[in-house]
Amino acid sequence: MSRKKVLVLGGNFAGLTAALTVKHELHGDVDVTVVSSCDDFLFTPSLIWVPFGKRIRRDITFKVGPTFEEHQVDFVHAEATAIDPVAKRVETAAGPQDYDYLVIATGYRNRFDVIPGLGQDGNAHTITTMEDALHAGEGWRRFIDRDEPGDIVIGATQGAGCFGAAYEFLFNTSYQLKKAGLKDKVRLTYVSAEPFLGHFGIGGLPHGESLLGMFLKKEKIHAVLDTAMDHVDEGRLVLADGRTIDFGYAMIIPPFSGQEVVRKVEAISDDNGFVKVRDTYQSEAYDDLYAVGVAAAVEVPWTTATPVGIPKTGFPTEQQAHTAALNIAAQVRGEEPAEHKAFGDIPAVCVMDAGNNGVVILADKMLPPRKHGVLIPGPQAHVMKLGFEKYFLWKMKHGQVRLP
């Protein structure tokens, strides 16, 4: 029998983990190819520090080609342009790729169109990609150099899910204002679609609202919650209810959508371009097609007055990738997929940085109902995030994806 071929689209958290895990699980007795338009691995949690000059590109990236080569995984640095799940073929800018099993790990696009005035040429910055974070850094330096810098708005739009990054950037901004001697001159406002502080897009955790409230009070940050944004003018955020907030600098997290190459395949994608999956991470439509990480659709288990998304962070992404890889390995061996791990049942593990402080977030499940959940504040969280960044980059660069 010919060797089976596993094709993985995407080479960051989800793609790299899935590709190397299936290769290791089958002891190399499988052909694995990764196709990605980007040849860098990016540790996205550290993008919060880039605008302040605390990290530059080379600090939080590495080339994935050597990593894949070391583990006998083929790497094609090209964009995937079309997916044909019936013919089991993916068209790429470097030519077609056939597969026996496909893993879609293509991540996200920013949905800037949800709020006029967002985007690279808009009136507010964001930090969800390296290019965005670098651009936000240029704006930050201009802001700091002004004689009268103005106020700052930081927030997340309706439909956004990446609230952790918004909070981290908020508190890091407060810390940087103190260091620059501007804390008493700049009004800092947090604007969020969340129904309450500390919702995080996961329904909140015990005492989270009061803890975040204390943080904001201590840092003299004003919060505007449970609100939608209408548009961003130059120097002014306009809310859906007509209220306005002036600013000299703004950073706003938008919602995410799936990549266009996925959205075009109606049989597998939802309206946002994410792949509809089972708890095995097989697509609902095809047993040989998987999706993991941000590319996998997750249903929001609640209804809020202002739409709130769900964060698809690094830890659940790894868990999904391992689950998918083990199920593919089982199929290659002629067995039925036996690994099941619904997104909501994956534990919540997150370290939220706040400049020289922070919060460790732990819960038995990502989504309610839960049995346990806790937020642990303190400077140790900042130290933990610094250490984890170094460890995780080492782990991924050396292909040690089976380590915790």
In 3D, which of 163, 236, 172 has the Cα closest to residue 201? 163
> Which of these three, 300, 322, 343, is where a domain ends?
343
In 3D, which of 211, 47, 238, 234 has the Cα closest to residue 155? 238
Position 120 pLDDT exceeds 90: no
> Which candidate in 162, 170, 193, 197 is catalytic?
162
Report, as an integer, the average pLDDT of 299-318.
92
- Annotation says 38 is catalytic: no
Question: How many domains are there within the chain?
Answer: 2
Count of beta carbons in the 10 Å neighbourhood of residue 122 = 18
Residue 136 counted as domain residue? yes
Q: Is the peptide bond before 85 cis (omega within 30 degrees of 0)?
A: no
Average pLDDT along the chain: 97
Position 135 pLDDT exceeds 70: yes
Q: How far apart are CA 393 and CA 42, in angstroms?
A: 9
Q: How far apart are CA 177 and CA 159, in angstroms?
A: 29
Report, as an integer, the average pLDDT of 169-176.
98
Residue 74 counted as domain residue? yes
pLDDT for 302 equals 84
Domain boundaries, position 16 = 5-108+258-343
Question: Residue length, the chain?
Answer: 404
Residue 385 counted as domain residue? no
pLDDT for 140 equals 98
CB 221 within 8 Å of CB 231: no
> 269: pLDDT confidence band, cut at 50, 70 and 90?
very high
> Which candidate in 90, 350, 366, 393 is catalytic?
350
Residue 198 counted as domain residue? yes
Report, as an integer, the average pLDDT of 137-142.
97
Please check whether residues 78 and 135 belong to one and the same domain: no
Please check whether residues 61 and 21 belong to one and the same domain: yes
Neighbouring-strand partners of residue 207: none
In 3D, which of 217, 259, 264 has the Cα closest to residue 84? 264
Position 397 pLDDT exceeds 90: yes
Helix residue ranges, H only, 110-266: 130-145, 163-179, 208-219, 260-263
Position 63 pLDDT exceeds 60: yes
pLDDT for 301 equals 84
pTM: 0.97
Q: How far apart are CA 135 and CA 143, in angstroms?
A: 13
> Which of these three, 324, 343, 362, is where a domain ends?
343
Tokens of 67: 């990593």
Residue 212 counted as domain residue? yes
pLDDT for 144 equals 96
Report, as an integer, the average pLDDT of 330-351.
96
pLDDT for 1 equals 54
Residue 365 counted as domain residue? no
Burial class of 20 by CB neighbour count within 10 A (0 to 12, 13 to 18, 19+): buried
Report, as an integer, the average pLDDT of 291-320.
94
Please check whether residues 244 and 291 belong to one and the same domain: no
Please check whether residues 217 and 308 belong to one and the same domain: no
Give, in degrees to the nearest 5, the angle at Cα 225 between 172 and 177. 20
Please check whether residues 66 and 139 belong to one and the same domain: no
Please check whether residues 126 and 248 belong to one and the same domain: yes
Q: How far apart are CA 105 and CA 17, in angstroms?
A: 10
Q: How far apart are CA 214 and CA 40, in angstroms?
A: 39
Please check whether residues 149 and 72 belong to one and the same domain: no
Q: Which amino acid does the sequence have at 130?
A: M
Report, as an integer, the average pLDDT of 379-384.
96
Please check whether residues 187 and 153 belong to one and the same domain: yes
Report, as an integer, the average pLDDT of 15-41.
97
Position 349 pLDDT exceeds 70: yes
Please check whether residues 219 and 157 belong to one and the same domain: yes
Please check whether residues 188 and 287 belong to one and the same domain: no
CB 292 within 8 Å of CB 401: no
Please check whether residues 61 and 75 belong to one and the same domain: yes
Q: What CATH number did the domain enclosing 92 receive?
A: 3.50.50.60
Report, as an integer, the average pLDDT of 229-246.
98
Report, as an integer, the average pLDDT of 10-25.
98
Please check whether residues 22 and 99 belong to one and the same domain: yes
Q: How far apart are CA 402 and CA 395, in angstroms?
A: 9
Residue 371 counted as domain residue? no
Residue 387 counted as domain residue? no
CB 51 within 8 Å of CB 127: yes
> Which of these three, 254, 287, 302, is where a domain ends?
254
Report, as an integer, the average pLDDT of 246-259.
98
